[in-house]
Chain A
Amino acid sequence: DVKVTQSSRYLVKRTGEKVFLECVQDMDHENMFWYRQDPGLGLRLIYFSYDVKMKEKGDIPEGYSVSREKKERFSLILESASTNQTSMYLCASSLLALSYNEQFFGPGTRLTVL
């Protein structure tokens, strides 16, 4: 079974802190994604990566950056956390860069910025 893990289930940070959210997948998937999930808004794509060191912006990249130095690991970085970044963050991966491919999700990180 594909396993996607995220470094923390819950995280509390202060405004202005630099925050790292880590995601690891164990099935050699090419693609990895970071989403933000907010009540009443569904899931919105922040960034995705289709290869090591390759990345593309999603729908809401402002205030975020990403890093993919190894195929299995995809990090989301909040350079200076703000209260409006309080949210649930979901990581996902998929095998190939094909539109019908299933995405496999991690358990999520609930981030609170005070």
Chain B
Amino acid sequence: AQTVTQSQPEMSVQEAETVTLSCTYDTSESDYYLFWYKQPPSRQMILVIRQEAYKQQNATENRFSVNFQKAAKSFSLKISDSQLGDAAMYFCAFSGAGSYQLTFGKGTKLSVIP
């Protein structure tokens, strides 16, 4: 069974600064997908970024990028130029190839300080 670990229950960042959220996972599979989802307060959860394990290049979506270290089984999310709207719960998730189930971490609550 896969496990996803987010070791930082809460983090904070100054507006316009950069913050990195950590995620590690454990799996015996070689082909899989990793995701970061964002859940703003009282709003629906949305996908932030997605990484295919077979791709060496780190995924980037505007101010959001990941640092994917396959050998270390690490998948961190970097948010650059943090904005007040980035305040949310962030969940790291894993999906094995051939499975449409997501395994989620416990989440990191990010606060953005004006």
Contacts and interface: CB of A to CB of B under 8 A. Distances in A.
Given A48-B101, A99-B33, A107-B43, A42 B96 contact: no
Contacts of A102: 35, 47, 50
A75 interface: no
Interface in A21-75: 31, 40-45, 48, 50, 58
Interface string B68-93: 00000000000000000000000100
Given A40-B9, A42-B107, A43-B91, A103 B102 contact: yes
Nearest to B93: A43
Q: How large is the interface on A (under 10, 10 to 19, 20 to 34, 35 or more residues)?
A: 20 to 34
A15 to B, nearest CB: 27
B32 interface: yes
A101 interface: yes
A89 interface: no
Interface of A: 4, 31, 40-45, 48, 50, 58, 90, 92, 94, 97-103, 105-108
Contacts, number: 52
Interface of B: 4, 6, 9, 32-33, 35, 43-47, 50, 52, 91, 95-102, 104-107
B45 A99 contact: no
The 4 closest A-B pairs by CB, nearest first: A105-B45, A42-B106, A43-B104, A99-B95
B52 A105 contact: no
Given A99-B32, A107-B43, A107-B44, A41 B98 contact: no
